[in-house]
């Protein structure tokens, strides 16, 4: 069963900590995405990657960075966590440049205290 796996389901971090959210997909997809989900705002794109070592900013990249050293892994980094980054984070992957549907992970609920 193909899937997108996010390393943590729940995470609690302190303000100012550096936080790593990991995402791994086993479908050999070129594209990977990080979204955050907040009530009333839907899903907002933080960063995405079309290939290894490539990254592009989404709609809300401030306070975040990403790393894609291998095709199957896409990491989201909060350089210095703040309380307004408390959210649900969803990773997704898709095949090629065509508008295929995305496959999503189960999400990581991050709380910054």
Under the rule (CB under 8 A), what is the footprint of other proteins?
9, 33, 35, 40-45, 48, 58, 88, 90, 92, 97-107, 109
Nearer to other proteins, 54 or 80 (CB): 54
Assign 66 to helix, strand or coil: strand
For residue 1, the minimal CB distance to other proteins (Å) is 12
For residue 57, the minimal CB distance to other proteins (Å) is 11
Nearer to other proteins, 49 or 85 (CB): 49
Nearer to other proteins, 44 or 71 (CB): 44
- Torsion angle of C-alpha atoms 23, 52, 65, 58, degrees rounded to 10: -90
Sign of the four-CA dihedral 31, 23, 54, 34: positive
- Torsion angle of C-alpha atoms 86, 91, 97, 100, degrees rounded to 10: -110
């Amino acid at each position: 069963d193909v899937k997108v796996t996010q390393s943590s389901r729940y995470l609690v971090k302190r303000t100012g900590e550096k936080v790593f959210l990991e995402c791994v997909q086993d479908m050999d997809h070129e594209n990977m995405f990080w979204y955050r989900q907040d009530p009333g705002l839907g899903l907002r794109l933080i960063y995405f990657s079309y290939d290894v070592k490539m990254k592009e900013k989404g709609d809300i990249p401030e306070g975040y960075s990403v790393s894609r050293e291998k095709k199957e892994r896409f990491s989201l980094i909060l350089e210095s966590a703040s309380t307004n980054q408390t959210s649900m984070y969803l990773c997704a992957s898709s095949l090629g440049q065509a508008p295929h549907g995305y496959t999503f992970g189960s999400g990581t609920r991050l709380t910054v205290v």
